[in-house]
């Protein structure tokens, strides 16, 4: 169950990175809405991470959490913000995903 909580925490990390990116592009009062979304998503992400580390090793949980955030943010950048998707970028994303899966399977 705590692995699911950790995955959701990582997805909220992607959401707060998305909010930061949108705040950078926003004007007027919309900036404050995006920063509010950032604050809410960051708070939820950290609270779920705290819940997950009650039973998961902190090193593994933190690595998985940041890995999900990193992979999700890069994929979001490619799919939504039209960031470049060259061979080496995709190769290292796949390597990171493989490492996250590996950490899950070697953790007790």
**What is the model's pTM?**
0.87
Average pLDDT, the chain: 94
Q: How far apart are the first and last CA of the chain?
A: 13
Name the one residue in this structure whose structure tokens are 């004007």.
Answer: 27
- Name the band, by pLDDT with cuts 50, 70 and 90, for residue 75: very high
pLDDT tens digit string along 48-59?
A: 999 999 999 999
The pLDDT value recorded for residue 77 is 92
Region of 28 (left: φ > 0; alpha: ψ -120 to 50; beta: rest) is left
The pLDDT value recorded for residue 28 is 94
pLDDT at 104 over 90: no
Q: Look at residues 36, 37, 50 and name the one whose alpha carbon lies nearest to residue 2.
A: 50
| Segments making up each domain of the chain, as ranges | 2-106
- Name the band, by pLDDT with cuts 50, 70 and 90, for residue 10: very high
């Amino acid at each position: 169950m705590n692995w699911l909580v950790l995955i959701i925490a990582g997805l909220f990390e992607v959401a707060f990175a998305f909010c930061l990116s949108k705040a950078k592009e926003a004007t007027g009062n919309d900036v404050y809405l995006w920063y509010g979304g950032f604050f809410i998503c960051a708070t939820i992400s950290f609270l779920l991470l705290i819940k997950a580390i009650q039973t998961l090793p902190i090193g593994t949980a933190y690595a998985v959490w940041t890995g999900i955030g990193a992979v999700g943010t890069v994929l979001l950048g490619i799919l939504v913000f039209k960031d470049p998707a060259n061979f080496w970028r995709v190769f290292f994303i796949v390597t990171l995903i493989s490492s996250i899966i590996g950490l899950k399977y070697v953790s007790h």
